[in-house]
Amino acid sequence: MTVTPSPLPPFSALHNRFRAGDFVDCFRVSSTLPLRQAADTIADFPGWALALVRLRNLLVAPFGLQADVAGSMDRIGIFPVESETEQEIIAGFNDRHLDFRISVMRDGGDILLATWVHRHNLLGRAYLATIMPFHIAVARDALRRVASTGQMAA
């Protein structure tokens, strides 16, 4: 169940979004879960991560940032799905301070989770810097849950 950093695979549609100064990270874990089940597992936040999301929503409300994204009926957790292929699901949204997407990918026997962020302004840069330690913890925990769910399903 080792979660490891990974380069973004060449097939990822996130490559089409990159601009100078954008943030991207990617982690991988071995898993037999189908792609959509892995994505749903990733977005099924444990209680501690849900508490962080609620705290985030309270803290950003005075800045007019989105707490929930209306619209898309197809979602992975709280994130609207933008595109889905057999190899990659991309979900996320644009806000005043940054544009954000997660990508859940299947690469052979691995599931990968990538995050892309384009910061629009100082608030976006400050926001990303503030949440980075939490982002890494949530991403790694999500992939550990994917790996352990895949082992239980096997």
CATH of the domain at 9: 3.30.530
What pLDDT does 85 receive?
97
Please check whether residue 61 is in contact with residue 154, taking contact to mean a CB–CB distance below 8 angstroms: no
Q: State residue 72's pLDDT score.
A: 56
Q: Give the number of domains in the chain.
A: 1
Nearest to 14 by CA among 79, 75, 97, 104: 104
Question: Angle at the Cα of 66 (from 62 to 70), degrees rounded to 5?
Answer: 145
Residue ranges for the chain with pLDDT beneath 70: 1, 46, 48-50, 52-53, 56-57, 59-72, 150-154
Q: What residues make up the domain containing 17?
A: 4-153
pLDDT at position 131: 85
pLDDT for 148 equals 92
Helix (H) or strand (E) run with residue 45 in it: none
**pLDDT of the residue at 109:** 95
